[in-house]
Structure 1
Amino acid sequence: MIRFALRLSLSGGREAAARLVVIATAVALGVGMLLTTLAGMNAVGAQNQRYAWLNTAVASPSSDPSVDPVWWLIREDYHHGDSIGRVDLAATGPDAPVPPGLPRLPGPGEYYVSPALDELLRATPAAELADRFPGHGIGTIGQAALPSPDSLLVVVGRTPAELEQLGGQQVTQIMATSPSNCPNGCYLGYNRDAMTLVLSVVAAALLFPVLIFIGTATRLAATRREQRFAAMRLVGATPRQISVISAVESTIAAAVGTAVGFGLFLALRPAVATIPFTGDRFFAADLSLTAVDVLLVALGIPLGAVVASWLALRRVQISPLGVSRRVTPKPPRAWRLIPLVVGLAELAYFIGRRPASTNGQLTAYLSGFLLILVGLVLAGPWLTMMGARVMAGRASRPATLIAGRRLADNPKAGFRSVSGLIVALFVTSVATGTITTYVANRTAPSTTEVAATSLSKVFWPEDGPAPTADQVPAGLATISGVRSVTLVRYNPEPDWWQGLVTCAELDHLAVFGRCPAGAQVAEVPVDLIGLSADDLADGGYVWDAADIAPGEVDRQPILSVVVNTTSPSAFEQARTILGNAFPLGGFPASGAEWEANGARQLVQFQQLANVVMLASLPIAGCSLAVSVAGGLSDRRRPFSMLRLTGVRLRTLRRVVALETVVPLLVVSVVAIGMGFLAAHLFLRAQLDYPLLAPKPSFWLLVAGGLVVSLGIVASTLPLLGRITGPETARNE
C-alpha cells in the first residue's frame, strides 16, 4: 500500500506535483522560522553569558588570601552616539585574575581593544578617540569576552595608585554569573527570561501565519482528493488504507519541506545574526541548535502534517458517501465572541488594580492578550458571516449576491484564507500603540541640533572637589568648530542640582534659552538643556530667575563644563580633551546620548514589531493565493456550468474577488481595532497612560500590506478563464 501511495503521489500528474511543491514550500518556511526561533533563544543565552565579566564590580570581594586582587573600574564612554565600554585594571600581584578574552592583564600604558573598536581607531583621527586611552594597544579582545561583533570595548592598564584615585575597587574574582541570575543586580546585560518571553511572542506571531499557510496548502484541491479517495472506498479500500495513502502523501511533502527548511535556516543564519533582537548583533555561531531542538523539529513537523491531512480527509474515512452527501455547514454562533469579550474584560479589570509582582503582571496581561487573540480567530467566521449577510442583503448586482450567499453559507472557508493576517495586524497594533505611547510619555531621545551638538562634563560631589576655572583646558576654545565653552555653577539653594548662569552669558550663548524680563541670573540644568531641547529649538526657552547677585555666581563651585560645537569632529575632540583633563567620574556626553540609552530597547521592540508585520504579510499573502487558487480548482465544474448558462467571466471574477475582499477587510479592521483597544487597556492598567495615535508610517505599512494582498488575489483571477471552459463541464 505504501508503494501504491508513492506512485499516486509522485506520478499523479501536474496537479499532484503542484500540491507537493506548495505543501513542501509551506513546511520549509515553517521549519526555517521555527529553527530560527529556537536558535535565537539559544543565542540570547550565549550573548548574555558574555556580558557576565563586565559586571565584576557587582560581585562581593573575596577574602581569599591566596589570590592577588585586581583594581577594577568600569565606565561608559561614547563616540558619535555609540557606547564604548571602558574597563581600567591594575594588578596587585602575579596571581591577579584575568578577564576572559585576554592572554594577560595589560600593564600601565597598555590596552586591549575589541576588533570593532580597533577598526574604529584606525579610521578615526587620534585627537577624536585614540588619545583618550593612555599608552598603546597591545592586542584585541577575544570573542569569549565580546557580547556582539559590534561591541566597542577597551581594557586599559593602570597603576594601583591611579585606580585608587579614580575610585576603583579591588576584586579577586571575575564575574561569571549570567546577568539573568545576578543576586545584587547587574550593570550590563538583560534578563534572559524576559527577552525569551519577548522572542517567544514574536515567534508565535511569525509562526501562526506559517501554520495557516501549511494548513491551507494541505487542503489544496481537497475536494478532488476527497472524490478520488471516496471512489477508492467504493471499490473496496478500507479506511486504514486510505489513511496510509493520505499519510504517505503528506509525509513526502513534509519530509522534503523539513529538509529544505534546515537548509534555509543554515543559509540564512548569517543574515539573521545581523538582526539586533537584543539591541546588539549575534555572532553567527551563537545561533546554534541543540540535539533536542533538531529532533523536535525533524520528527514533529512531518507528524503534524500527517495529522493535518487526516483531519482534512476525515469525512472520507468515516464513509465513502461522505463526499457526495454535502450539506450547508451549520452557521457559526455568537458564542465565538466570548473569549474576545473575556480577554478585554480581564485587561479592563486590572485598571486601578495592577498586580504588585512582575510575575503577576505577566500572568494577568499575557493571558488577556492571548484570550483576545484566540477570540479573534474564533470570532472570525462569525464576523465574516455577518459581513456577508449585510453584503447579500444590499446586493444590487449578481456577483455581489452570489458572493454574499456563498460566504454566508460557509464563512469558515472564507475566513480561513485570510486568518493568517489576524496575528500580524493584532500583534503589530498592540506593539505600535504601546511603544509609541510609552516613548511619548517618557520623552523620546531628542534629535534637535542643540541636544546633539552640546557636550557636558558634570562634577558631582561624590567625584571629589570641583575644579577651578584655571583648570579648565584653554585648548577647548581653540578647537575649530567649538562655538562656546560655558561654566555652569552650583546653586547654593536647596535644589543644588540646578546650576546657575548669568543672563549676560545666556544672551551671548543664544542657543540655550533666555532669562525672564528683568532677571540677572537664571537657574539652568547641568547641561543647559535638561528636558527642554525641543523648546530651545523652537526659538528659546525662558528659564526661572535665581535669587542671587551676578557677582556671586563666579564665586560658586563649578557644576559642569558645557561645550557647544558645530561639527562632529569638534565634538569628539572636545570630549577627548575634557575626559583627559577630568578623569574622575563619568565621561563627557550629550543629553541626546544619555536619553538614547533609555529608549534603545524600546526602539528595538518597535523594530521587532515591524519585522513581524513585514514577514507575516507576505506569508499570509501566499496563503491567500493558495486558498483562492485551490478554491477555483475545486469549483471549476460549477463555474463552468454557470458560464454555459450565460454568466459572463467578468461576473465570476467579481464573485471570487468579493469572496476574498470582504473577509480581508473585515478581519483587518477588527484586528487593528482590537489591537489598539488592548494596548489602551494595558497602558491604563500598567502605566495610567491613555493611548496615543500611531505615526503615519504604521498606516502606510498596513495599507501597503493590504494593497499587496489584493494584488495577490487579482493575480489568481486569470486562472478562472482557463479552467472554466466548455471542455471542463464536459470532462467533469
Structure 2
Amino acid sequence: MGARFAMTGGREGWIRTLLTAFGVGLGVTLLFVATSVPHVLSAREDRTQARDPWIASSTGLERGATTLLFRQSSTAYHGKDISGLIIRPEGADAATPPGVRKFPGPGELVVSPALKRLLDSGDGTLLRQRFAAYRVVGTIADQGLQGPSELMFYTGAKSGELVDQHNANRTKGWGPAAASLDHAPMNQTKPSPELILLATIGCVVLLLPVAVFIATAVRFGGERRDRRLAALRLVGADRAMTHRIAAGEALFGALLGLAFGTAFFLALRAFIEEFTLWNYSVFSSDLTPSAPLALLVLLAVPAAAVVVTLFALRGVTIEALGVVRQARPRRRRLWWRLALPLLGLALLYQMMTGYTAAGPRDTYQVAIGAVLVLAGTTALLPWVVEAVVARLRGGPLPWQLATRRLQLSSGAAARAVSGITVAVAGAIALQMLFSNVQAQHTSDTGQDPTRAQFVTQSTVRDGKGAKKAVARFQRTPGVREVFATVEATIRQSHDDPYDTPPVQMHIADCAMLREFLRLPHCADGDVYVSQRPEYLTKDQWAPTTPGSEVVITGQEAEDRFSARRGQGTNGSKDLVRAGKRWTVPRSTTVVHTRPDPVGMDREGIYVTPGALGMTGFGATNVQVIVSLDKSAEDAIERVRNTDAEVSGGVGNGYSVVATEETRKFRSIRNGLFIGAFATLLVIGASMIVSTLEQLRERRRLLSVLVAFGTRRSTISLSVLWQTAIPVVLGLAVSMVGGLTLGAVLLKMIEAPVAVDWAGLGIMGGIGAGVIALVTLASLPPLWRMTRPDGLRHE
C-alpha cells in the first residue's frame, strides 16, 4: 500500500518520490564508483607491471634470441609528463611491449592514442617540433597503458644508440612473466603505515557523507507523509500499520533510487574516458563494481531506507485527528550522541602506542573508530541546533522568520547540513594527517629554481660540439642565461685505472665556475681544485696534486670500461691508451665549493678552456644549465625542443624543482582529490534538493505570507538565514570533532599535533560558498512558489 501511495499519489506524490529517488540515486552512483575502486587500482597496477621491463639484478644477462636493450626516455609538455622507452631487439624472438604489435624501427614511434591526439591538435605545435625527427607508425593498445589519457611512446633506437649495455639495460621481456631468480621488478615497495592510515581515513571521509545523504534523502516529504498517515488512522489503520505503510513508501523511493543510481553510473561509465582529473584517467572497462560490494549496496540502501523511516517515526504520534509533532517536541537526548564519538576515540586510543598497519584488523579498527567519531559529530548537530535556536530572540523580520521556523522544526534543517558537517569534520582531520604525511613523503631536492629552471646533459664528440650545443641553447627564444660544463675524468697514468678512484674534471668558463665555486678571482687559463673530501685519502686524491701527470678520459670511454668490467673483462690499458695525457699546472688554486643550481657540490678539478685543449680525450658529456625569462611564453617548451635537437632524441633534460614527492603518496593524494571533488558535488546537490523539498513543503505558507504583503526579498533573506544558521553551527561542531580526530590520528603515527589554520579557513570558505550556492539555487523556485496560485488547495 505504501508503494502504491508513492506511485499513485498524483503530481505531488510523484514529485516527492522523484526527489527521493534522485537523492538516493546520486548517493548510489558514488557508492558504485567506490566499489569499483579496487578493480580500477588492481587493473591499473596489473597493466603497469605487465609493461615494466625486468632487468638483471645479480648477474649480467648475456645477449640472446629473446633479449632486447632499452633506455628510459621522458619529457614533459604544458605540465603533463610524457614517458617513453627507446628499445632495440637483439634477437628474433624478443617480445614486444604490451599493446604494441611490432617493434618500431629506427626513427619510428608507437604512441598512445592520447599522445597522437595531442600531436595532431593545434595545441601540440611545439610538441610536434620535438618529435619532428620521428615518424608515427602505430598506437599503443589499452593493455599497454595505465589510462586513456596517458601520454606514452616507444621509439626504435637510431644508429649508434643502445649499442651495448654501457648505455642501456638488457632484459628478457616484460612484466612478471619474464622474471627469474636473478631478475627483479622495478619500483616494488610496500606502502608505509602512515600512507595506509591516510588512505583508510580518506575512504571513511569520502564515503560517510554519502551514507548520511542517502539517509536524509529517504526522509524527504516527511511532514506531508505524516499527515497522510493521520488520514489512514481515521479510516481504521493502527500505529504499526502506518509505520509499515511509511516504510513501504520509503522502500519504493529507495528502489527507484537504485534504478536511478544504476542508470547514472552506466552513463558515467560510458563517458568516463573523456574526463581527466589531476592527470588521472580511467578506462570504462576498469570501472566495474566489485560483485560482493555492489550486492552489499543493493541490499543496504533499501534496508537503510526502511530503518531510517521507522527510526524517524518513533518520536512522532500519528492519530486520526492529526500529528502530535506539531506541538512542542521533547528535548533531544544528549547521552547517546556523546557515546558514539567517545566509543570511537576509545577504539583509536588503543592504537596510540604505535600504529603499524600490521594487518586488516588494524585497518578495520581505525575505520570503525573514525566512523564512530564522525557519525557522533553529525548526531550532535541536531541537539546543538535545537539548543541554540531555542535561545534566539528578536532581530530583523527575515531573521525572526528564519529563527521561528527553526524553533518549530529544526530537524529538517539539521539533516540538510549533516552531510557537509561530517564532510568538513573528516576533511579537517584528513588535512591534519595529510600535512604531516606530505612532509614525510616530500623531500627537498636541494635545487634552486630561482637560479635556473632547466638542466640537461648530452654527449658531444669534442669541445667544438660542446660550443655548438651551448650556442644552440643561447639562441632559443625565452632563454636568459646559459651555463655549461664539459665533464671528463682524470686518472693517474702509471696505475691500473681500477687501483685508484677517478677524479672528476669540470671544464667551464668563469661564469659557470662561479656557480659552483667560491672564487677569489678567475681568468681563462686558470685551474682550481676543491678541498679533498673527508672520505678520500691523500693517495686517492693524488691525481689533483700540482705537477702530477694524469690521463684525461671521456665519459663514453669510462662507461665502456665499466661495462666491460661488469662482463668479466678489464680493458684498463685500452682506457689509459685512449686518453689524453696532461700535467696538472703548479699554479692550481685550492678553493671551496658551493651548491650549484641543481644542488650539487662538485668535488674535483676545475679547468677553464684556456688551460686545456678541448680535444683528445674522446666523446664526453656536456651539462647545460638554463635560466629562463619567465615572462616569455612557452619558454620551457622551446628549451625542451632545443634539448631534443641537441641530444638527437626527445631530450634528456628536466625542470629544476625545490621539492619532490614519492610516487605512492602522489597516487593517494590524487585519488583523495578526485574523491573529494565527487563528494562535494554530491553534498552540494543534496543541500539544494533538501532546500527545494523544504520550500515545496511550505509552499502554501509562503504564498500566505506574500498575500499578506510580505516582500519576496524578506522571504529570500529568511531562506538564507535558515540555511546559514545550521551551516555555521555545523561548521563549529565539525571543527571540534575534526580537530579531535586529527589530533588522535597524529598521535597514532607519533607525529606532533599541528593545526593547519589555513585549511580551517578554507573549510570556512567552503561553508560560505555552500550557503551562497544553495540560496541562489533556491531563489527561482521560491519566487515561483510564492505566486497567488500557491494558495489553491484540495
TM-score, length-scaled by structure 2: 0.68
**1:540 alignment counterpart:** none
CA distance in 2, matches of 1:592, 1:146: 27
> What code does the residue aligned with 1:337 have?
L
CA distance in 2, matches of 1:700, 1:648: 29
CA distance in 1, matches of 2:193, 2:438: 23
Long gaps (5+) in structure 1: 460-465, 532-543
Instruction: Confirm whether residue 418 of structure 1 aligns to residue 417 of structure 2.
Output: yes
Query: In 2 relative to 1, CA 343–324 (structure 1 residues): closer, same or farther, beyond 3 Å?
Result: closer
**1:266 alignment counterpart:** 266
Question: How far is 1:118 from its partner?
Answer: 3.5
Q: 1:667 aligns with which of 730, 735, 751?
A: 730
CA-to-partner distance for each residue in 1:664-699, whole Å, 9 max, x for gaps? 211113324543564465456645473444377665
> What code does the residue aligned with 1:26 have?
G
Instruction: Confirm whether residue 505 of structure 1 aligns to residue 517 of structure 2.
Output: no
CA distance in 1, matches of 2:238, 2:611: 100
Flag the structure with larger Rg.
Answer: 2
Instruction: Confirm whether residue 378 of structure 1 aligns to residue 379 of structure 2.
Output: yes
**1:709 alignment counterpart:** 774
**1:462 alignment counterpart:** none
Q: 1:563 aligns with which of 595, 610, 625?
A: 625
Query: In 2 relative to 1, CA 35–235 (structure 1 residues): closer, same or farther, beyond 3 Å?
Result: same
CA distance in 1, matches of 2:444, 2:680: 24
**1:116 alignment counterpart:** 114
Q: 2:685 aligns with which of 619, 622, 633?
A: 619
Instruction: Confirm whether residue 475 of structure 1 aligns to residue 469 of structure 2.
Output: yes
**1:523 alignment counterpart:** 593
SS in 2 for 1:478: helix
CA distance in 1, matches of 2:257, 2:357: 46
SS in 2 for 1:419: helix
Question: How far is 1:380 from its partner?
Answer: 1.6
Instruction: Confirm whether residue 152 of structure 1 aligns to residue 222 of structure 2.
Output: no
Instruction: Confirm whether residue 102 of structure 1 aligns to residue 103 of structure 2.
Output: no
**1:225 alignment counterpart:** 225
CA distance in 2, matches of 1:491, 1:347: 58
CA distance in 2, matches of 1:648, 1:291: 55
Alignment check: 8 A CA contact 2:205 2:427 kept: no
CA distance in 2, matches of 1:150, 1:653: 45
Alignment check: 8 A CA contact 1:336 1:378 kept: yes
Alignment check: 8 A CA contact 1:451 1:590 kept: no
Q: Across the two proteins, how many residue pairs are aligned to each other?
A: 687
Long gaps (5+) in structure 2: 491-501, 523-527, 529-590, 629-634
Query: In 2 relative to 1, CA 382–224 (structure 1 residues): closer, same or farther, beyond 3 Å?
Result: closer
Alignment check: 8 A CA contact 2:74 2:83 kept: yes
CA-to-partner distance for each residue in 1:135-175, whole Å, 9 max, x for gaps? x5542222211112222333344599724232312325643
CA distance in 1, matches of 2:203, 2:139: 36
Alignment check: 8 A CA contact 1:87 1:155 kept: yes
Question: How far is 1:51 from its partner?
Answer: 0.8
Query: In 2 relative to 1, CA 387–579 (structure 1 residues): closer, same or farther, beyond 3 Å?
Result: farther
CA distance in 2, matches of 1:294, 1:354: 31
Question: How far is 1:333 from its partner?
Answer: 1.8
Q: Give the alignment of 1:267-282 within 5 angstroms.
A: 267-276=267-276, 279-282=279-282
Query: In 2 relative to 1, CA 373–277 (structure 1 residues): closer, same or farther, beyond 3 Å?
Result: farther
Q: Give the alignment of 1:206-605 within 5 angstroms.
A: 208-237=208-237, 242=242, 245-276=245-276, 279-289=279-289, 297=297, 300-313=300-313, 323-324=323-324, 328-333=329-334, 336-340=337-341, 353=354, 355=356, 366=367, 369-391=370-392, 412-435=411-434, 442=442, 450=450, 453-457=453-457, 469=463, 472=466, 474-479=468-473, 480-481=475-476, 483-487=481-485, 504-506=510-512, 515=518, 523-525=593-595, 528-530=597-599, 561-564=623-626, 566=628, 567-577=635-645, 579-580=647-648, 587-592=652-657, 595=660, 600-601=666-667, 604-605=670-671
Question: How far is 1:271 from its partner?
Answer: 4.5
TM-score, length-scaled by structure 1: 0.73
SS in 2 for 1:420: helix
Alignment check: 8 A CA contact 1:26 1:213 kept: yes
Query: In 2 relative to 1, CA 291–108 (structure 1 residues): closer, same or farther, beyond 3 Å?
Result: same
Instruction: Confirm whether residue 162 of structure 1 aligns to residue 163 of structure 2.
Output: yes
Q: Give the alignment of 1:124-139 within 5 angstroms.
A: 124=125, 128-130=129-131, 137-139=136-138
Question: How far is 1:487 from its partner?
Answer: 0.9
**1:690 alignment counterpart:** 754
CA-to-partner distance for each residue in 1:348-381, whole Å, 9 max, x for gaps? 8877845485878856765554343122112223
Query: In 2 relative to 1, CA 699–382 (structure 1 residues): closer, same or farther, beyond 3 Å?
Result: closer
CA-to-partner distance for each residue in 1:474-500, whole Å, 9 max, x for gaps? 2341342254241176999xxx99997
SS in 2 for 1:694: helix
- Fraction of identical pairs, as percent: 23
Alignment check: 8 A CA contact 1:269 1:284 kept: yes
Alignment check: 8 A CA contact 2:198 2:433 kept: no
SS in 2 for 1:87: strand
CA-to-partner distance for each residue in 1:150-204, whole Å, 9 max, x for gaps? 22333344599724232312325643599xxxx9664389979999997886665
Instruction: Confirm whether residue 77 of structure 1 aligns to residue 70 of structure 2.
Output: no
Q: Which moved more, 1:266-275 or 1:20-29?
A: 266-275
SS in 2 for 1:236: coil
Alignment check: 8 A CA contact 2:36 2:288 kept: yes
CA distance in 2, matches of 1:552, 1:357: 59
Q: Give the alignment of 1:647-662 within 5 angstroms.
A: 660-662=723-725
CA-to-partner distance for each residue in 1:217-259, whole Å, 9 max, x for gaps? 4333433433332442343335675466445533443343333
Alignment check: 8 A CA contact 2:130 2:645 kept: no
Alignment check: 8 A CA contact 2:51 2:174 kept: no
SS in 1 for 2:95: coil
Q: 1:18 aligns with which of 15, 18, 37?
A: 15
SS in 1 for 2:268: helix
SS in 1 for 2:254: helix
Question: How far is 1:207 from its partner?
Answer: 5.2
Q: Give the alignment of 1:3-42 within 5 angstroms.
A: 6=4, 8-42=5-39
Q: Which moved more, 1:42-51 or 1:648-657?
A: 648-657
SS in 1 for 2:110: strand
